[in-house]
Amino acid sequence: MAKRIDVSGLTAYYSSHKAIEDISMTVEPRSVTAFIGPSGCGKSTFLRTLNRMHEVTPGGRVEGKVLLDDEDLYGSHVDPVAVRRTVGMVFQRPNPFPTMSIFDNVAAGLRLNGSYKKSELNDVVEKSLKGANLWNEVKDRLNKPGSGLSGGQQQRLCIARAIAVEPQVLLMDEPCSALDPISTLAIEDLIGELKERFTIVIVTHNMQQAARVSDRTAFFNLAAVGQPGKLIEIDETERIFSNPSVQATEDYISGRFG
């Protein structure tokens, strides 16, 4: 169920502003890759180019290639809607649909993809909520609105919603930045379990988190405000945090940045 991502020469713009420039990297299937770097360095923008969400922003456009197991996401015959069904996404702020129940939130993606029998839906919803470590907390109130849950539970509900459609890749954009430490720990544990089934890419501002959850870490930086963000280096997480090959990376992780 997990695919490998190959990015080559990717540049993304907001209208005429170049947000990220010439990024190339490979993400292995069934691994966790963390993106770190200062604010504005383009790591979220880059993440959003991986499921063609970047171009939803007015003026957003992309040059370069993103291969998902040899298929170019930006090929001329590729439907962005289909891309987003294969590459799921979890956002910074938990965003369950406020007008839907917990059950309907998890089933939302499936219902988009076609019609399912009630029993099939039940199975998928249960499996996804279990996969997101949320089942025991919500199994008695599946018909209550998702907005009644705590922030951490809402975020796990969003993860359940994303994995319910069995994506190849799961993108997470600072999924814990709005959560307390206990909820954060729950999500981090969950990421460890999910990587056995999915390719995971996570943007985080928390370097301990990157060190804890990821197999590989990519460091992004920008030369100055207004300049495009660039990928400085990507390597095994252990190596990035102990002995990075670029000085800027070491400065950033040891807090000597800026």
157 sits near other proteins (criterion: CB under 8 A)? no
Q: Which residues pair with 229 in a beta bridge?
A: 20, 222
Q: What letter does residue 168 receive in the DSSP assignment? A: S
Of 161 and 212, the one with the shorter C-beta distance to other proteins is 161
Residues making up the chain, counted from first to last: 258
113 sits near other proteins (criterion: CB under 8 A)? yes
98 sits near other proteins (criterion: CB under 8 A)? yes
Q: Alpha carbon 112 to chain centroid distance?
A: 21
Q: Of the candidates 37, 109, 175, 228, which one interacts with other proteins according to CB under 8 A?
A: 109
Q: How far is the CB of 174 from other proteins (least distance, A)?
A: 13
Q: How far is the CB of 140 from other proteins (least distance, A)?
A: 17
Q: Which stretch binds other proteins (CB under 8 A): 28-36, 51-59, 181-189, 214-222?
A: 51-59
Distance between CA atoms of residues 96 and 33, nearest Å: 25
Of 29 and 145, the one with the shorter C-beta distance to other proteins is 145
Q: Which stretch binds other proteins (CB under 8 A): 15-23, 106-114, 202-210, 231-239?
A: 106-114
Distance between CA atoms of residues 58 and 184, nearest Å: 32
Q: Identify residue 6 by its one-letter amino acid code.
A: D
1 sits near other proteins (criterion: CB under 8 A)? no
Q: Alpha carbon 4 to chain centroid distance?
A: 14
b/e map of 206-241 (b: 16 or more CB within 10 Å)? bbebbbbbbbbbbbbbbeeeeebbbbbbbbebeebb
14 sits near other proteins (criterion: CB under 8 A)? no
Query: What string marks each residue from 192 to 231 as x (binds other proteins by CB under 8 A) or -?
Result: ----------------------------------------
Locate 230 and state its tokens.
Answer: 């660039």
Do the strands 199-203 and 216-222 form a parallel or antiparallel pair, or are they unpaired?
A: unpaired
Contact positions vs other proteins (CB under 8 A):
51, 53, 56, 81-85, 88-89, 91, 93, 95-101, 108-109, 112-113, 144-145, 147-148, 158, 161-162, 165
